[in-house]
Amino acid sequence: MAELHPEFSKQPDYSGFFRYPEARISALAAELGRLDPSMPLLGAEAPAELERLSRDYSDYSPVLVERLRGCRAQLVASASSLEQVRLVAGACARHGVALTVRGAGTGNYGQCVPLQGGLVLDLCGLDRLRHFDAATGVIEVEAGSLMGGLNQQLEPLGRALRLVPSTARSATIGGFIAGGSGGIGSLRWGFLRDPGNLLGLEVVTVEPEPRLLRLDAAASTPLNHAYGTNGILTALRLPTTELVAWQQLVVGFDSWDRALAAAQALLGTALQLQALTLLEAPIAQQLPWPGGCPAPLAAEQRLLLLAAPDALEVLPAWLAALGGQIHWQAPQGGSRGLPLRELSWNHTTLHWRARNPDWTYLQMLLPQPEAPCLGLLRERWGDDLLWHLEAVRQQGGARLAALPLLRWRGEEALERLMADCRQAGALLFNPHVISVEDGGLGVVDADQVAAKAAHDPAGLLNPGKLGGWLSSPG
Ligand code: FAD
C-alpha cells in the first residue's frame, strides 16, 4: 500500500500535512537529470511554478479550497515522449515517491492536485495524432493533445470528436478521459463512460521497470474516469463522428415554464442537436454574449442550441409556436468573440463566479418530469439557487441535467440542499469531494481497484483519490 500518513483516512483537511523528505526528492531529481538531461524538471527553486502546477479549478468549491490548501508538488517533470514517461514512472517507483499526472489542470474537483506532494508529471508535451483510420474514423492520439487542436486536425478529414468539454480549447484528451464526464455532444453520445466512447488505451505502469500496455475497450473501462489513479494514459483510441457545420442559436423566452417546456419538447423531435443549454433569466443577465448577440431583456430566459443546418428550416417557426424568439444565429467557428459552448456546462459557472465569487454550484440528473423537482427546490431555496440545465443522453434516452448556481452559505446549508435535491428525486454528482467514488454514485468499483493493483502496486499514482484503494485491505 501507499506510504500513507497514519492520520490520512481520518483527516478531512489535506492541507499539506504529508511531504516526502527533501533528500528523497533530491535523489529522485538527480536520477531523472542523469537519465535524461533534456527533460524539464522544476523543484524547490521554483516555488511559484510548483504551486501553479499543483492547482486546478477546484476553487469553484469553497469546501475543496479549504481541504486542498497547501497541497503542493515537490517536483514537476514535463514529458514529451513515451520514453520520458517511462523514465519518470520507473524512478518514482524506485524512490517510493507519489506521482500525479497532469494534463491542462482544468479539472473542478482537485483531480490533479497532489494530496501528498511528490512528483507531478505534466503530459501536455505528449500531443501527436498518431493515426487516423479513414475507413472507420477511429483515431489514436497521444494523451496530452488539446481537444480543440485535435478537432482542427480532424476537420479537413471531415471528422470531429464525438464529445468535448466546454474547455475543449484548453484541456487535454487524456485529462478528459481520466477526469471529465461529458459535455458538448453528450446529447447525442451520452457520457464518456458509456460503452463505445473509448475504444482502447496505451498505458504506462508505475513499477521499478514500467511496462507499456495496450488495452482494448473492455480492459480500458476501469481507467476511464479514474483520475489517473490506476495507470498513466499515454495514448487513446477513440471513435470520431462526421463533421457537421453546427449553427449556434440564442433563443429568448419570457417565462421559465415556457422555456422548460420548449427544451423538453425539443428532446422529442428529430431535429439534430449537438447541445441544448437552458439558463434562468438572472444568469443570462450576467453572461458575456458573443459579438452581435443582443443582451437579454430583464426576465428573459435563454435557450442556447447547437443545431444541424437542416434543422434551421424548421426551428424558427417551431420555436415561435412555443413562445421562443431567435435573437442570434451564427455558424460555430464563424462568429466573433466567445463560441456559444463557452457559455455552457461549467463555463456558465465560470462566468457567473467571475462576478459573484461567493457562489458555487451543484451537478445533478433531474427526475422526469423535471418541473415538480425544480418547483420544490425553488420554493425551499428561493433565489439562493439559480437554474442552469443541460440536455444529455442517458441510457439511451434524452434527459435534462442541471448545474445550478448556489449562493454559498456554508457546508451545513450545502448538505441540507443536497438532501433536498435527493428527496426531490435528483441524482446528485457532488462536486465538493475529492475521491472518484464520492463524485460518482458513492460505490467502490472493484475493477478500478484491481487495475490499480495491476498497474500501480505500490499505490503511488495520485494517492488519496481512489477510495476503494484506501479502504481495501493489505
Ligand atoms: P487535468 O485537470 O489536468 O486532469 C484531470 C484528471 O485526469 C486528474 O486526475 C489527472 O491526474 C488525470 N490525468 C490527466 N492526464 C492524464 C493521463 N494522461 N493519464 C492519467 N491520468 C491523467 N468537464 C467535463 O467533463 N465537461 C465539461 O463540459 C467541462 N466544462 C468545464 C468548464 C470549465 C470552465 C472548467 C474550469 C472545467 C470544466 N470541466 C468540464 C472540467 C475539465 O475542464 C475537463 O474535464 C477537462 O477535460 C480536463 O482535462 P485537463 O487536461 O485539464 O485534465
Please report, for the domain that includes residue 282, its CATH number. 3.40.462.40
Residues 116-142: pLDDT tens digits?
A: 999 999 999 999 999 999 999 999 999
| Residue 181 beta carbon below 6 angstroms from any ligand 1 atom | yes
pLDDT (mean) for 387-401: 96
Q: 257 and 386: one domain? A: yes
Q: 282 and 422: one domain? A: yes
pLDDT (mean) for 396-424: 97
Q: 51 and 108: one domain? A: yes
If one residue of 346, 353, 405 were mutated to test the ligand 1 pocket, choosing by the most ligand atoms within 8 A of its CB, it would be 346
Residue 2 has pLDDT above 50, yes or no: no
- The Cα-based distances of 353 to 160, 231, 405 in angstroms read 31, 34, 9
| Residue 106 beta carbon below 6 angstroms from any ligand 1 atom | yes
**Using CA positions, which residue lies closest to atom 20 of ligand 1?**
228
pLDDT at 14: 55
Q: Which residue in 97, 66, 81, 96 sits closest to 35, CA to CA?
A: 81
Reported confidence tier of residue 473, pLDDT bands at 50, 70, 90: low
Q: What is the CATH number of the domain that holds 89?
A: 3.30.43.10
Domain assignment present for residue 438? The answer is no
Q: 29 and 14: one domain? A: yes
pLDDT at 204: 98
Alpha helices by DSSP H, listed for 147-255, are 147-154, 173-179, 186-189, 217-220
Domain assignment present for residue 1? The answer is no
pLDDT (mean) for 61-82: 96
Q: 53 and 67: one domain? A: yes
| Residue 175 beta carbon below 6 angstroms from any ligand 1 atom | yes
Return the ligand 1 atom nearest residue 182 CA. Answer: 25
43 CB-near residues (< 8 Å, 6+ apart): 25, 26, 29, 50, 74, 75, 76
Residues 231-246: pLDDT tens digits?
A: 999 999 999 999 999 9
Residue 10 has pLDDT above 50, yes or no: no
| Residue 143 beta carbon below 6 angstroms from any ligand 1 atom | yes
Please provide the average confidence, as pLDDT, over all residues in the chain: 94
Q: 398 and 416: one domain? A: yes
| Residue 112 beta carbon below 6 angstroms from any ligand 1 atom | yes
Residue 4 has pLDDT above 60, yes or no: no
pLDDT at 252: 98
Q: 37 and 153: one domain? A: no
Residue 46 has pLDDT above 80, yes or no: yes
**Full residue range of the structural domain in which residue 392 is found:** 247-428
Percentage of the chain modeled with pLDDT above 90: 92
Q: How many domains does the chain have?
A: 3
Domain assignment present for residue 445? The answer is no
| Rounded distance from Cα 247 to ligand 1 centre (Å) | 26
| Residue 56 beta carbon below 6 angstroms from any ligand 1 atom | yes
3-state class of 361 per DSSP? strand
| Rounded distance from Cα 194 to ligand 1 centre (Å) | 17
pLDDT at 345: 98
164 CB-near residues (< 8 Å, 6+ apart): 147, 148, 151, 176, 183, 184, 185, 341
- As a whole number of angstroms, the distance between CA 7 and CA 167 comes to 36
Return the ligand 1 atom nearest residue 227 CA. Answer: 9
Domain assignment present for residue 15? The answer is yes
Percentage of the chain modeled with pLDDT above 70: 95
Q: 379 and 417: one domain? A: yes
Domain assignment present for residue 434? The answer is no
Residue 454 has pLDDT above 80, yes or no: yes
Q: 151 and 91: one domain? A: no
